Amino acid sequence: MGKQPAVPHRQENVRDCGIGSNTHLGSFKCTPDEFAELIEREGIIPAPYLARNKWVLLESLEALPAKELKRLIKDSYSMVAAKLPKKVQGVLGLEKLSSREDGLDRQL
């Protein structure tokens, strides 16, 4: 007999943990001030397991105007990328991260 996987893959496991549900559109990191403001809005909640690091979970596209959402996602990407080791940033072609991300880092 072959080895059994550590966690059996069953469709009901996927449903139970919420993967694939339409209620969660995505998560992103934000500054502490933005976090406090965003979680007050309908359709945005603190991201499970990551809220202590100022991540929010978007439950509805109507919660944010498209322009603001785009800015928040770009800022989130920059904050996360800026925390990567310099070597990894280089491998990923992120050397351009500089003063803008340093300013965001100081806010955190």
**25 or 17: which leads in pLDDT:** 25
CATH number of residue 29's parent domain:
3.90.1150.30
pLDDT digit string, tens, across residues 33-76: 999 999 999 999 999 999 999 999 999 889 999 999 999 999 99
**Residue 4 per-residue DSSP state:** P
Q: Which of the four pLDDT bands, split at 50, 70 and 90, describes residue 2? A: low
Which of helix, strand or coil describes residue 107? helix
Residue 54 located in a structural domain: yes
Total structural domains within the chain: 1
* Rounded CA separation 30/57 (Å): 11
Q: Which two tokens stand for residue 2?
A: 């072959």
Residue 55 lies in a domain: yes
**Residue 47 tokens, joined:** 């991201």
| Beta-carbon count within 10 A of 102 CB | 10
pLDDT category at 7 given cuts 50, 70, 90 is very low
Containing structural domain, residue 50 = 11-107
Beta bridge partners of 46: 56
